[in-house]
Amino acid sequence: MSRDAVFSLSARKGLMAFLVAAFAVQCFLVYTDPTGREMPPLSEAALRGREVWLGRNCQACHQFYGFGGFLGPDLTNASGRLTRARLNEVLTVGSRQMPPYHLSADEITGIETYLREIDATGIGQARAPRPDPAAFAAVVRVAMAGGEMPDEAARGAGRFLSGPCMACHAPLSPRRIGSYLAPDLSRSASALADEEIFEVLTNGRPALGMPPSGLSHDQQREVLAFLRWQNEHRGRLLEASLTDQPTGLPWWEFR
The gap between the terminal CA atoms of the chain, to the nearest Å, is 52
Is 250 inside any structural domain? no
Is 125 inside any structural domain? no
Residue 96: CA atoms inside 13 Å, Cβ hemisphere, count? 3
Averaged pLDDT for residues 125-144:
83
Nearest to 58 by CA among 36, 81, 75: 75
* CA separation for the pair 34, 38 (Å, rounded): 6
Taking the complete model, does pTM exceed 0.75, yes or no?
A: no
Dump pLDDT digits (tens) for 70-121: 888 889 888 888 888 889 988 988 887 888 898 999 999 999 999 999 988 8
Nearest to 226 by CA among 113, 136, 101, 125: 136
Is 239 inside any structural domain? yes
Residues 6+ positions from 125 with CB-CB distance below 8 Å: 66, 74, 76, 77, 254
User: In this model, does residue 47 exceed pLDDT 80?
Assistant: yes
Residue 140 sits in the same domain as residue 208: yes
Please identify, among 84, 119, 154, the residue that sits at the C-terminal boundary of a domain.
119
CATH of the domain at 220: 1.10.760
DSSP 196-255: HHHHHHHH-BGGGTBPP----HHHHHHHHHHHHHHHHTHHHHHHHHEE----S--TT---
Q: What is the average pLDDT value for the chain, to the nearest integer?
A: 84
User: In this model, does residue 162 exceed pLDDT 50?
Assistant: yes
DSSP 26-67: HHHHHHT--HHHHSPPPPHHHHHHHHHHHHTTGGGT-EETTE
- Specify the number of domains making up the chain: 2
Residue 142 sits in the same domain as residue 108: no
Is 10 inside any structural domain? no
Q: Within 10 A of 85 (CB to CB), how many other CB atoms are there?
A: 8
Asked if 209 and 180 count as a contact pair (C-beta separation under 8 A), the reply is no
Whole domain around residue 159: which residue ranges?
130-243
User: In this model, does residue 224 exceed pLDDT 90?
Assistant: yes
User: In this model, does residue 174 exceed pLDDT 80?
Assistant: no
Residue 223: CA atoms inside 13 Å, Cβ hemisphere, count? 24
Averaged pLDDT for residues 16-32:
88
Helix (H, G, I), strand (E, B) or coil at 155: helix
Please identify, among 92, 119, 146, the residue that sits at the C-terminal boundary of a domain.
119
